[in-house]
Structure 1
Amino acid sequence: MNKLIQGLSICFLLVSTLACGQNKDYLITISTRHGEIKAILFDDTPKHKDNFISLAKAGRFDSTQFHRVIQNFMVQGGDVFTKEELPAEKWPTIPAEILPNRFHRKGMIAAARQGNNINPTRASNGSQFYIVQGRTYEELELTTDFPALQKAVLQYVQLESQRPLKEEYNRLYAEQKLDSLMTLLLSKRDEIAKSLNLTLTKNYTPEQIEAYAKMGGTPHLDREYTVFGEVIAGLDVVEKIAAEPTTREVPNSPVLMQVKVERISKKKITQQYGYRYPEVK
């Protein structure tokens, strides 16, 4: 009987330990001279999450910089391997974890990588990450396949019936009134698609359309880079970094970072920062 009770007690402790572990998460703190950025990393991108946490725990992110900054686009940093003087050809990579439910709305954290021409598998850089700033998009602009539309327009304006459109297109282009030109093309999108029997749209979920309209982001990066985390406090710090004066996208005054991780309860993260974890089904 005593052995049975002891066995049940051990099982209870194991179950309790596992349950406690599942109810905790890593809170990421990125400290800069502009303030702190708080973030969480996603469980459904485990390779990227584990890699980031490992680098942070070892202090390897500390004294790296946000070395590439583009206003209304993103801020990029965490170049551990250059700091450690590791030759570029030896930089480790992480297999892509690109998921349809993870998209580039403002505040998302994603992994930098080399281009498709030399990196067709879209493997991520082993340390560098970027935080999305971006801008807002109207639904018509967001859902338009611009390369396809541009190609279709050049075909459409050759029709004799579209001579006025061709003249207006050429005038706006010659005057470099690109915003007006884009407005013109968007207004003609559905007409051109119907006339030439083409599809000139891209599919976005209602959630994505709402997020890009209200919060903004960089939708053209979707399905191309691994999104593996999210800023839950300190977006104002991201804005300040993005506003740094730069030379060739490098801040004139270095924006150094220190990164720490702490494991705390998900309940506390929700209470303090308002982040809602997805319900387990």
Structure 2
Amino acid sequence: MKNLWLVILILLFTMCSNKPKEPIVVIQTSYGNIKVKLYNETPGHRDNFLKLAEEGFYKNLTFHRVIQDFMIQGGDPKTRNVSDTTALEEDKTLGDTIAAEIKFPQLFHKRGALAAARWGDAENPTKASDASQFYIVTGELCSDNKLSEIEKQRYERLKQRIYKDIQSTNLDTLKALLKSGDSASASAMRADWLKQAEEQAKGRESEILYTDKQREFYTTRGGTPFLDNEYTVFGEVLEGMDVVDKIQRVRTNEKDKPLKSVFMNVVVMEK
């Protein structure tokens, strides 16, 4: 029996030791260093961030958007060596992107989360990430009631997406019914679609509900839960949240740009 337990322990140790290491990077700033690990669950974002860091892409870029109790954002190449970020013009064109790797509820916007910035759904319906811009969540505490409200809103959005997919598949049939003047059958068809959407959404509730552990994190340590399932989270801060907090408190203008540039560089510690 003892030998059996020994074999099990050896197997468990081997399995743990064979788990791929998560890369570590350091974001160097004018306020201190931020140590971050990159998730293996988001390999596209992980590898892209490592590549840019190794190429020196982030050297002398800035955190150009800072909102207290929300996040700090940087990585825009237009900010390179720019001492006065308040003078930057807004670029209205969609740049290079990376395919979204949204892994909610596994990965979420807890305080200290590293996530990819992106354009809005109108220009970017696939939620693809900007190729270089990222943000670090500071956030604030969230009540259980607020989390439940967010879940309800997310559930309704999921149901609407399912309904639209069903509608798109059967649109020709609906148009034919309306063209023939059979409005009763058209209404019945729409009602059936709603029923199908409701049933499918209920079967996919695990995609939008928070676990007890996540609720505890949001209510005791904070974050930005309303961004969950919308943006790709691809890492988290290991050390240096005090530096992040210093940056989030810098003075900004009405467009959330720091009045004095906060420069950065990203270096790879471990791959």
Q: TM-score range by the shorter chain?
A: 0.5 to 0.7
Candidates 100, 111, 117, aligned match of 2:116 = 111
What residue number does 2:97 align with? Answer: 93
What do residues 85-133 of structure 1 show as CA deviations (whole Å, max 9, x unaligned)? Answer: xx87573100000012110000000000000011000000000000000
Separation in 2, partners of 1:145, 1:108? 19
- 1:1-281 matches, cutoff 5 A: 24-80=21-77, 83=80, 89=93, 91-100=95-104, 101-145=106-150, 203-247=209-253, 248-263=255-270
- Aligned partners of 1:109 and 1:129 also within 8 Å: yes
Counterpart of 1:210 in structure 2: which amino acid?
E
Counterpart of 2:102 in structure 1: which amino acid?
I
Distance 1:140 1:147, change over 3 A: closer
Counterpart of 1:261 in structure 2: which amino acid?
V
Work out the number of aligned pairs and report it: 191
Counterpart of 2:133 in structure 1: which amino acid?
Q
Distance 1:252 1:81, change over 3 A: closer
- Aligned partners of 1:99 and 1:223 also within 8 Å: yes
Separation in 1, partners of 2:213, 2:241? 20
- Aligned partners of 1:81 and 1:91 also within 8 Å: no
Normalised by the length of structure 1, the TM-score is 0.63
Distance 1:81 1:97, change over 3 A: farther
Give the unaligned 5+ runs of structure 2: 1-15, 82-90, 154-207
Q: Pairwise CA RMSD of aligned residues?
A: 2.4
Separation in 1, partners of 2:152, 2:210? 17
Normalised by the length of structure 2, the TM-score is 0.66
Counterpart of 1:203 in structure 2: which amino acid?
L
What do residues 240-270 of structure 1 show as CA deviations (whole Å, max 9, x unaligned)? Answer: 0000000020001100001100226xxxxxx
